[in-house]
Amino acid sequence: MKRCLLGLRVVVVVVVVVVVVVVVVVVVVVVVVVVVVVVVVQKNHTGVGTDNNYQNLKDTVVVRDGDPTNVGQQVILPATYCGGPRYMFEELQDVMAHVRKYGCPDMFIKVTTNPNWKEITDHLLKGQHPHDRPDLLVRVFRLKLKQTMHALKNGCLDSVDAWLYNIEFQKRGLPHAHIPLWMSRDSKIHPCMIDAAVSAEILDKNQDPELFTIVTSHMVHGPCGALNPNAPCMKDGKCSKQFPKPFVKDTDMGTDSYPKYQCKDVQSGGNCTVKKLVGQNIP
Ligand SMILES: [Zn+2]
Distance of CA 271 from the midpoint of ligand 1 (Å): 20
Please give the distance, rounded to the nearest whole angstrom, from the Cα atom of residue 278 to the centre of ligand 1.
17
For residue 29, the Cα-to-chain-centroid distance in whole angstroms is: 44
Is this prediction's pTM over 0.85?
no
Q: What one-letter code names the amino acid at 155?
A: G
- Please say if the pLDDT value at position 278 is more than 70: no
Nearby residues for ligand 1 (ion, Cβ within 5 Å): 224, 233, 239, 241, 243
Instruction: For Cα atoms 49, 50, 53, give the angle at the middle one, nearest 5 degrees.
Output: 100
Do residues 162 and 187 lie in contact, with contact meaning Cβ atoms separated by under 8 Å? no
- C-alpha–C-alpha distance, residues 226 and 203, integer Å: 26
pLDDT digits (tens, 9 = 90+) for 57-80: 777 777 766 676 777 777 888 999
Ligand 1 midpoint to CA 195 (Å): 24
The vertex-82 CA angle with 78 and 86, nearest 5°, equals 40
| pLDDT classification of 11: cutoffs 50, 70, 90 | confident
Rg (CA), the chain: 34
Contact 149, 162 (CB under 8 A): no
pLDDT computed for residue 34 by the predictor: 76
Separation of CA 222 and ligand 1 centre (Å): 5
pLDDT for the residue 40: 65
What's the CA-to-centroid distance between 250 and ligand 1, angstroms? 23
Q: What is the pLDDT of residues 163-198, one digit of tens each?
A: 999 999 877 789 999 999 998 888 788 888 888 888
Give tens-digit pLDDT for 93-149: 999 999 999 988 888 889 999 999 999 999 999 999 999 999 999 999 999 999 999
Please calculate the CA angle 247-249-254 and round it to the nearest 5 degrees: 85
Cα separation, 262 vs 274, whole angstroms: 20
